[in-house]
Amino acid sequence: MRHLIDPLDFTKEETEELLVLSEDIRRNPEKYQDKCAHKKIATLFYEPSTRTRLSFESAMINLGGSVIGFSSANSSSASKGESVADTIRVISAFADITAIRHPKEGAPMRASMFSSIPVINAGDGGHQHPTQTLADLATIRRRKGRLNNLVIGLCGDLKFGRTVHSLIKSISRWDGIKFVLISPTELKVPDYIINEVLKPNNIEFEETTDLEDALGKLDILYMTRVQKERFFNEEDYVRLKDSYILTEKKMELAKEDMAVLHPLPRVNEIALAVDKDPRAAYFEQVQNGMYVREALILKLLNLA
């Protein structure tokens, strides 16, 4: 039995297969509409979510299956002190597969150690978010026609942004990737990403605080929200939250075929006016997320 806890749990080739499968599901939904008949997904969300939880649930419903779960720790027995290890043993008796979001880094990994069903990490603290990465890869592939030979700017909260960490880990496996890491000094990408991912794999990268300066060289701009919930004090959050705001004016500096991605939710970091720019890809990214989650469910249940 396999789980998806870290983006590298699936090889590059397997990741490509998932993306191809997600495209087939998009084009031929009727082929897949009964694949998960009588199967259940449990969505165990100890942290808030709109996209990830509802796209997992939509994905399972599209495949003919059904959904159980909870959307906050307060509405589960976690509020009475139940451990993740005990919860997953219980859920294993009810469901065929589970997606877990938890504020503690490593919680989905711990769940997988006690689970008798496949566990999907739906975001653990400031650590990883591998299914968002699948949505990101699908979006880049659809927009650019490739996952190699790209200059990718990652902008905003690179310290706590788990989607950033997962995307860097995953897409670094394709050739010719260069990263421009754009953040305030306090929100730089963690050292482990530099020392365990970028440097050992000889991935070209530069760090800067200047979005305008970087914009003209990017094929992809991946904007992120400053993660208020991970800050230890409000004062630091308020000081840093509007460090970068992508505006129509700044978009004039970008290539005509650059794509703007954002895992969402957005706060202020992309002006609403940018939404109508054809380079804005963040709402299609959400829909791509549903199809890749369908593909992932099929793969983990050995139905594809």
Residues classed as catalytic:
51-52, 80, 101, 129
Tell me the C-alpha to C-alpha distance, in Å, between residue 166 and each of 6, 95, 185, 201, 284. 7, 27, 20, 15, 19
263 binds ligand CP (CB under 6 A): yes
Are 214 and 188 a contacting pair, CB within 8 Å?
no
- Which range of residues in 143-151, 187-195, 253-261, 263-271 is near ligand CP by CB under 6 A? 263-271
Site residues (CB under 6 A) for ligand CP, limited to 119-148: 123, 132
Out of 15, 22, 43, 52, name the contact with ligand CP by CB under 6 A.
Answer: 52
Identify which of residues 136 and 198 has a Cβ nearer to ligand CP in the complex.
Answer: 136
Strands (E), the chain: 40-45, 66-70, 97-102, 119-124, 150-155, 177-182, 204-208, 220-223, 259-261
Whole-number Å distance between alpha carbons of 76 and 90: 12
49 binds ligand CP (CB under 6 A): yes
Identify which of residues 52 and 243 has a Cβ nearer to ligand CP in the complex.
Answer: 52
Identify which of residues 57 and 219 has a Cβ nearer to ligand CP in the complex.
Answer: 57
Shortest separation between residue 258's beta carbon and ligand CP, angstroms: 21
Are 151 and 143 a contacting pair, CB within 8 Å?
no
For 20, other C-beta atoms within 10 Å of its C-beta total 12
Q: Phi/psi at 195 (nearest 5 deg)? A: -85, -25
51 binds ligand CP (CB under 6 A): yes
Out of 264, 295, 296, 300, name the contact with ligand CP by CB under 6 A.
Answer: 264
Return residues touching ligand CP (CB under 6 A).
49-52, 123, 132, 263-265
